[in-house]
Amino acid sequence: MQDKAGPHVAGVSVKKCGTTSSSVGDPVTPSRGEFGDPVYKEIALANGHINRMDRDELRLKLAELKLDTRGVKDVLRKRLKSHCKKQKLLVAAAEGGVTDTYYDFICVVDFEATCEESNPPGFLHEIIEFPIVLVNTRTAHIVDTFQEYVKPELNPKLSDFCTQLTGITQEMVDQADTFGNVLRRVVTWLQERELGTKYRYALLTDGSWDMSKFLNMQCKISRIKHPKFAKKWINIRKSYGNFYKVPRTQTKLSSMLEKLGLQYEGRPHCGLDDSRNIARIATRMLQDGCQLRVNEHLHAGEVRNVPSSAPVEVSPPPHNPRSRD
């Protein structure tokens, strides 16, 4: 769901991808390292040199290293710094020094929900598309996807506005399953990929709305408890703003793509396409050296920040939803 400033809308039909999840090694518990390690002095010296480079010099150096040369100057500078840091840390890790791996996989989720042209007060948005894009953090590649449409129960008829805006038809949701059953298949999909058991993982969203509003509201409508594995997530807007040092006003999906020299691929307001584009931003950030980590969680129905000084949080093993009754 693109550029959320509040509740948005549903997606159009996109066929499910059948890519098989790639294998990675056993999960590694991250070692944060001490900043007194000599490698950090080397990194600081390299950063000072990079800070003095102009845009043409940055692009030339990135080209020499066969790295992406797209993006504004601040992005190019961050990319080169992160590459140098990563290389030095890899050497240090090989020698028994520091490393900085948090998760094996990241699940990008971007729900689509029912809407009206002018949503009346108290309008209950129901999830009608549940997409997941799986990112292997070691390779920084998309390795698998999941997508199902969901039948709304409170307001089963889609508005003309929703249909015209997104292309999703009444027939699509009429033929879909209820949210509770779709969520069970999501859990099975995650379990089949051994997420939370063999592999460390976290959810990632474009803002706070998906987990704190849409999923929270949908679970109440469906009379099931909010799943524990979806109570903490990476808000990529916060991660992007902090990593590239840009204001929050420049962290909408379209702005993030533009700053990275990327263009939106697919159909806007399709949940799976939105998720793929968010995943493209996440993979670029991983390639640029960003340590994506959980930065928000749900507590008593409210969004709370997870400070960077807190221990790294991972999503727990997924389990089938429990009834509220």
Which residues are designated catalytic? 112, 269
Helix (H, G, I), strand (E, B) or coil at 284: helix
What is the residue whose two structure tokens read 């003309």? 160
Give whole-number Cα distances, 194 to 165, 169, 199, 234, in Å.
Answer: 37, 34, 6, 20
Chain centre to alpha carbon of residue 84: 25
Tell me the C-alpha distance between 106 and 132, whole Å: 10
Residue at 259: amino acid letter: K
Tell me the C-alpha distance between 216 and 22, whole Å: 31
Provide the token pair at 153: 């129960």
Q: Which residues pair with 233 in a beta bridge?
A: 296
Cα-based angle 208, 213, 216 (whole degrees, multiple of 5)? 120
Q: Which residues contact 258 (CB under 8 A, 6 or more apart)?
A: none
Tell me the C-alpha distance between 146 and 16, whole Å: 6
Q: How many CB atoms lie within 10 A of CB 290?
A: 18
Question: H or E stretch including 254?
Answer: helix 253-259
Which burial class, exposed, middle or buried, applies to 273 when counting CB atoms under 10 A from its CB (0-12, 13-18, 19+)? buried
Residue 109, phi then psi, degrees to nearest 5: -125, 130
